[in-house]
């Protein structure tokens, strides 16, 4: 059994979560923001990093055969996704992948669709590259959210060129089903829309929910869509900057590879090694991590139901991010975030960051020892009970 209860001192490593709280929140808070975790990494990973770092040369380095083999095996075994080595293109980050895809497949002024609320760099990258941002709000069914296919179709009719999907979805924790994804693929195919599936959270699913990669939906899906994934969220190695495109349509792959080649971007030798080791040795670690996160999520949900009934939340289907609805308090977003940071002394992400639908909400990171989650909830309760 891995020990996810252990509190690891991260201060002094220049990590954003613990070393930048004052900069982000104005004073020291219990940090429950950003999307990395406070757990120790897989022991085999740390050993491999130390071993490689102890060799006194760090020259240009290629991916080992095991890098490709382990990515392929991991995806086959865990997601039923078949791929070959040639489908994989390494990139430092998934947001970098979004930028390359936009650069390769769309041009200035083209419309790009996203479902909101969603991870904010989707919008900023689209706008930053001078593409037109088109949004479709997720529909609420109680605390459950679904895509609004009617609204998306109306927008696609108007000439959308690409859609960026968050699968599983940050911040609302949906693990999209094969049926939902199939409906989306059909819609995109009908209107000639490229479908980019951001699958960075794909390994973190629990409570009986199983990730469905866009590339396993249908033959049509492989034609019009492609995905980016990474070991970064799964194994808590975001700082190592290793991600990858999986592209099975050769035409799309060629265009994107050309765009990446033009910028001469690759990943570094530690990123290659970490990816190889995590996917090669990390299955049990991830299974236990998912069980642990599921317990943390159930704790927060139960805590809100029993101790903070005005805060509405739900157990997500995946990710280690929870979506807390504080709107019953009737505060402005600024008042809410000030109360959380100044009175509760906790650092959460503002829901408004992810789109207008997030006003009244805050995002809580539960990728940490349960004692920290308990402490954060206690502090929130004390502030909101006043
Ligand atoms: C949906 C999603 N995509 C991408 C990223 C960031 O990816 P990267 O650091 O690889 O650019 C995050 C980080 O939270 C995320 O939640």
Same domain, 29 and 84: no
Same domain, 175 and 189: yes
Angle (CA) 325 345 340, round 5°: 25
Backbone phi, psi, residue 249, to 5°: -90, 115
Of 281, 316, 346, the position where a domain reaches its end is 281
Long-range pairs, 6-12, Cβ under 8 A, ≥24:
6/39, 6/40, 6/369, 7/38, 7/369, 7/371, 7/372, 8/38, 8/39, 8/40, 10/38
Ligand 1 in reach of 117 Cβ (< 6 A): no
Which of 371, 355, 204 is closest to 363 using CA atoms?
355
Distance CA 136, CA 160 (A): 12
Q: What pLDDT does residue 142 have?
A: 86
Please identify, by atom number, the ligand 1 atom nearest to the C-alpha of residue 92. 10
Same domain, 291 and 246: no
CATH number for the domain including 348? 3.90.1150.10
Ligand 1 in reach of 221 Cβ (< 6 A): no
Please identify, by atom number, the ligand 1 atom nearest to the C-alpha of residue 230. 10
Asked, as a colleague might, if the bond just before 369 is cis with ω within 30 of 0, I would say: no
Same domain, 317 and 273: no
Distance 383 CA to ligand 1 centre (A): 31
Of 281, 304, 325, the position where a domain reaches its end is 281
Helix (H) or strand (E) holding 104: helix 94-105
Considering the domain boundaries, does residue 113 fall inside one? yes
Same domain, 238 and 347: no
Q: Do 333 and 355 touch, CB atoms closer than 8 A?
A: no
Distance 292 CA to ligand 1 centre (A): 21
Ligand 1 in reach of 170 Cβ (< 6 A): yes
Distance 158 CA to ligand 1 centre (A): 28
Distance CA 234, CA 281 (A): 13
Considering the domain boundaries, does residue 179 fall inside one? yes
Q: What pLDDT does residue 307 have?
A: 97
Considering the domain boundaries, does residue 81 fall inside one? yes
Ligand 1 in reach of 164 Cβ (< 6 A): no
Please identify, by atom number, the ligand 1 atom nearest to the C-alpha of residue 34. 14
pTM of the model: 0.97
Rg (CA), the chain: 21
Backbone phi, psi, residue 309, to 5°: -60, -15
Ligand 1 in reach of 230 Cβ (< 6 A): yes
Q: Which of 119, 126, 199, 234 to mutate to test the pocket of ligand 1 (most atoms within 8 A of CB)?
A: 119
Ligand 1 in reach of 122 Cβ (< 6 A): no
The 3 state secondary structure assigned to 153-186 is: HHHHHCCEEEEEEECCCCCCCCCCCHHHHHHHHH
Considering the domain boundaries, does residue 8 fall inside one? no
Distance 317 CA to ligand 1 centre (A): 18
Domain that residue 219 falls in? 55-281
Contacts of residue 123, Cβ cutoff 8 Å, sequence gap at least 6: 114, 116, 133, 135, 355
Ligand 1 in reach of 114 Cβ (< 6 A): no
CA separation, residue 152 to residues 117, 159, 163 (Å): 14, 11, 10
Q: Which of 90, 125, 170 to mutate to test the pocket of ligand 1 (most atoms within 8 A of CB)?
A: 170
Looking at the DSSP bridge assignments, the partners of residue 312 are 325
Distance CA 232, CA 345 (A): 28
Same domain, 357 and 340: yes
Of 281, 298, 316, the position where a domain reaches its end is 281
Distance 94 CA to ligand 1 centre (A): 6
Backbone phi, psi, residue 346, to 5°: -125, 145
Query: In the chain, how long is the greatest CA-to-CA distance?
Result: 60
Q: What pLDDT does residue 386 have?
A: 87
Asked, as a colleague might, if the bond just before 275 is cis with ω within 30 of 0, I would say: no
Distance 37 CA to ligand 1 centre (A): 13
Looking at the DSSP bridge assignments, the partners of residue 114 are 135, 164
Distance 200 CA to ligand 1 centre (A): 6
Same domain, 107 and 230: yes
Same domain, 151 and 188: yes
Domain tally for the chain?
Answer: 2
CATH number for the domain including 81? 3.40.640.10
* Residue ranges, the chain, pLDDT below 70: none
Distance CA 14, CA 134 (A): 36
Considering the domain boundaries, does residue 5 fall inside one? no
Distance 56 CA to ligand 1 centre (A): 32
Distance CA 370, CA 366 (A): 8
Same domain, 200 and 188: yes
Q: Do 244 and 228 touch, CB atoms closer than 8 A?
A: yes
Distance 198 CA to ligand 1 centre (A): 8
Looking at the DSSP bridge assignments, the partners of residue 160 are 111
Please identify, by atom number, the ligand 1 atom nearest to the C-alpha of residue 241. 10
Q: What pLDDT does residue 143 have?
A: 86
Please identify, by atom number, the ligand 1 atom nearest to the C-alpha of residue 319. 16
Same domain, 291 and 319: yes
Q: Which of 121, 174, 229, 241 to mutate to test the pocket of ligand 1 (most atoms within 8 A of CB)?
A: 121
Q: Which of 89, 91, 95 to mutate to test the pocket of ligand 1 (most atoms within 8 A of CB)?
A: 95
The 3 state secondary structure assigned to 285-348 is: HHHHHHHHHHHHHHHHHHHHHHHCCCCECCCCCECCEEEEECHHHCCCHHHHHHHHHHHCCEEC
Which of 248, 228, 268 is closest to 125 using CA atoms?
228
Ligand 1 in reach of 95 Cβ (< 6 A): yes
- Ligand 1, atom 7: closest residue by C-alpha: 94
């Amino acid at each position: 059994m891995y020990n996810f209860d252990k509190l690891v001192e991260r201060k002094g490593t220049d990590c954003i979560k613990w070393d930048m709280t004052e900069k982000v929140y104005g004073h020291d808070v219990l940090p429950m923001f950003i999307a990395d975790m406070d757990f120790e990494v897989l022991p085999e990973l740390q050993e491999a990093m130390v071993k490689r770092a102890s060799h006194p040369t760090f020259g240009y380095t290629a991916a080992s055969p095991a890098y490709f083999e382990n990515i392929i095996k991991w995806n086959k075994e865990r997601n039923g996704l078949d791929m070959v080595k040639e489908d994989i293109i390494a990139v430092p980050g998934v947001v970098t992948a979004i930028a390359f895809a936009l650069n390769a497949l769309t041009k200035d002024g083209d419309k790009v669709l996203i479902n909101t609320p969603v991870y904010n760099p989707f919008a900023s990258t689209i706008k930053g590259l001078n593409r037109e941002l088109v949004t479709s709000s997720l529909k609420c069914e109680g605390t459950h959210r679904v895509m609004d296919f009617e609204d998306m179709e109306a927008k696609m009719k108007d000439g959308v060129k690409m859609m960026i999907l968050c699968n599983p979805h940050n911040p609302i924790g949906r693990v999209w089903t094969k049926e939902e994804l199939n409906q989306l693929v059909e819609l995109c195919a009908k209107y000639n829309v490229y479908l980019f599936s951001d699958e960075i959270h794909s390994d973190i699913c629990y409570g009986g929910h199983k990730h469905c990669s866009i590339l396993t939906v249908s033959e049509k899906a492989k034609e019009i869509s492609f995905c980016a994934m990474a070991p970064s969220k799964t194994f808590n190695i975001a700082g190592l900057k290793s991600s990858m495109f999986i592209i099975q349509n050769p035409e799309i792959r060629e265009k994107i590879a050309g765009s990446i080649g033009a910028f001469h971007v690759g990943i570094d030798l530690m990123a290659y090694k970490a990816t190889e080791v995590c996917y090669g040795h990390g299955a049990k670690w991830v299974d236990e991590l998912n069980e642990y996160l599921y317990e943390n999520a159930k704790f927060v949900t139960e805590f809100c139901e029993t101790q903070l009934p005005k805060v509405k939340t739900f157990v997500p289907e995946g990710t280690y991010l929870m979506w807390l609805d504080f709107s019953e308090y009737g505060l402005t977003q600024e008042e809410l975030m000030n109360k959380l940071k100044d009175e509760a002394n906790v650092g959460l992400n503002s829901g408004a960051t992810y789109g207008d639908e997030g006003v009244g909400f805050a995002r809580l990171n539960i990728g940490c020892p349960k004692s920290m989650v308990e402490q954060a909830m206690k502090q929130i309760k004390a502030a909101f009970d006043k």
